[in-house]
Amino acid sequence: MGINRGECELEMDTIAAVATPMGEGGIAVIRVSGPESLEIVDRIYKGKQPLMTVDSHTIHYGFLIDPKTDERVEEVLVSVMRAPRTFTREDVVEVNCHGGIISVQRVLDLILENGARLAEPGEFTKRAFLNGRIDLSQAEAVIDLIRAKTDRAMKAALSQVEGKLSRMIRDLRQNLLEAMAHIEVTLDYPEHDVESVTNQLLLGKCQEVNQQIARMLDTAKQGKILREGLATAIVGRPNVGKSSLLNSLVQEEKAIVTDVAGTTRDVIEEFVNVRGVPLRLIDTAGIRETEDIVEQIGVERSRQTLQQADLILLVLNYNEPLQPDDRSIFAAVSGMNVIIIINKFDLPQRIDLEEVKRHFPNQPVIMTSVKEEKGIELLERAIADIFFTGRVQQEDLTYVSNARHVNLLRQSQQAIADAIEGIEQRMPVDMIQIDIKKAWELLGEVIGESVGEDLIDQIFSQFCLGK
């Protein structure tokens, strides 16, 4: 059963949590939100004037005092923000204190002892949603903004936080609402015989909505890359330089690099920003036939990783002839996005480059010497050329990156397609209305107009404490 934000009754208690990462630092922020936030902090605050009397959106210097002992607990700056001009649309107080595990914990404990409840993960953002400050797609974009690992990913998330996707969805729903209104007129006044006119109008509106949804779905692949990173598998025989390549791209030693073949026996994963392309680099165990049980497990995991990868970096040695294991890998990655990396280019040639090019006639071949740090820039450029050309470069493009959104858009697109088919087959308009209303409701779920409590809890549980 769905809930409507406007009808939802919130537990009107006051919550608190540390909003900055725990650990040593210059400052820490403890966020308090709810009807008693000012009163609770005022009980333990000593400054020039009581917080209950100060203006909204002001900052005040003072000390936190333990009421039981009159002991000074911490020197603080306190930000006071009164409802409704706050993130949660509730009274919000933010206590800025010195960073450090002990000092922060003492301040938080003092606030909790005086009437606040420890917030659940994402509860501040959940209240912003339930109080109508943001919609559900904007709330989900907050997670993407926090987790963004490239400038482009951050800009895409910020665009959604600001409501660009929400406005697009609302425009689509408005078009469908107008279509349903025309159907109601036709049903209410059948004597005017306007069904043919209504069908023409419905067809135009449904086709327009269908095209707009299709354009949004076209961004889903790029959006997924921005959100989750491009799953990039580094593959090759043992000891061809896969781990060295990973370390070179990451620019720190994440994988063990030795002269012993088969050193990497598991899958090593690392996230790296390559010229604006977010790569989720996966260094696989060398793929070869082996009697070693442990290595066999690593090889099997490598083969599974290949099937899930968006991009393959296939590493071969310039100074070695092609082996049967190489050709086995060629077959395994056939038809996938592959960049061939010929490593150890500084050594004498023994590889048959013509055979490599016959296997991969349309794939880029990059000559490198990872040890000498040569060719890495060419590789980075090749990665960028493959995935960030044309439309992906447009900074103002709104990406649909959330799997939930993509699923709902696809379902709504199917409902619209069913409506279009019904119109073209001259089905009764009340039958067509069923499909249009279904699409309208599905689009509403994207922005949280009517969603289940379980879904809301699931979404906000992904947040960290204090957000």
Report residue 242 as tokens: 């896969």
User: Does 374 belong to an annotated binding site?
Assistant: no
Nearest CA among 349, 346, 338 for reference residue 373: 346
Give Cα separations from 109 to 19, 64, 241 (angstroms): 14, 12, 52
Known binding residue 305? Answer is: no
Q: Is 276 annotated as a binding residue?
A: no
DSSP class per residue in 357-401? HHHSTTS-EEE-BTTTTBSHHHHHHHHHHHHSSGGGG-TTPPP--
Closest CA to 281 of 255, 316, 258, 318: 255
290 belongs to an annotated ligand binding site = no
Question: What Å distances lie between residue 352 and 68, 316, 322, 361, CA to CA?
Answer: 81, 11, 7, 14
- Check the annotation: does 449 bind a ligand: no
User: Reduced to 3 states, what is the DSSP secondary structure of residue 25?
Assistant: coil
- What is d(CA 142, CA 148) in angstroms, rounded to the nearest whole number? 10
Is 243 annotated in some ligand binding site? yes
Hunting for tokens 């809890």 — which residue is that?
457
Walk across the sheet containing 15-18 and list its strands.
45-47, 58-66, 71-81, 92-98, 27-33, 15-18, 117-118
Q: 240 among the known binding-site residues? A: yes
Joined together, the tokens standing for residue 94 give 């933010």
328 is in an annotated binding site: no
Q: Are 69 and 80 in contact (CB under 8 A)?
A: no
259 annotated ligand-binding residue = yes
* 94 annotated among ligand-binding-site residues: yes
Residue 244 known to bind ligand: yes
The DSSP 8-state label assigned to residue 191 in this structure reads G
283 is in an annotated binding site: yes
Q: Is 262 annotated as a binding residue?
A: yes
Is residue 398 annotated as involved in ligand binding? no
CB 112 within 8 A of CB 44: no
The reply, when asked if residue 446 is annotated as ligand binding, is no
Q: Which two tokens stand for residue 243?
A: 């781990």
239 annotated ligand binder: yes
Beta-carbon-side half-sphere exposure of residue 259 (alpha carbons within 13 Å): 0
Residue corresponding to tokens 């395994």: 332
The CA-based diameter of the chain, rounded to the nearest angstrom, is: 89
**Residue 264 annotated as binding site:** yes
Q: Hunting for tokens 């306190």 — which residue is that?
A: 78
Structure tokens at 440: 């309208």
444 labelled binding-site residue: no
285 is in an annotated binding site: yes
| DSSP string of 35-64, one letter each residue | TTHHHHHHHHEEESS-GGGSPSSEEEEEEE
Residue 180's alpha-carbon distances to 193, 194, 412, in angstroms, are: 17, 14, 15
* CA 403/CA 462 separation, integer angstroms: 14
Binding site as annotated, residues for Mg(2+): 243, 264
Binding site as annotated, residues for GTP: 239-244, 258-264, 283-286
Binding site as annotated, residues for (6S)-5-formyl-5,6,7,8-tetrahydrofolate: 31, 94, 133, 467
Binding site as annotated, residues: 31, 94, 133, 239-244, 258-264, 283-286, 467
Binding site as annotated, residues for K(+): 239, 258, 260, 263
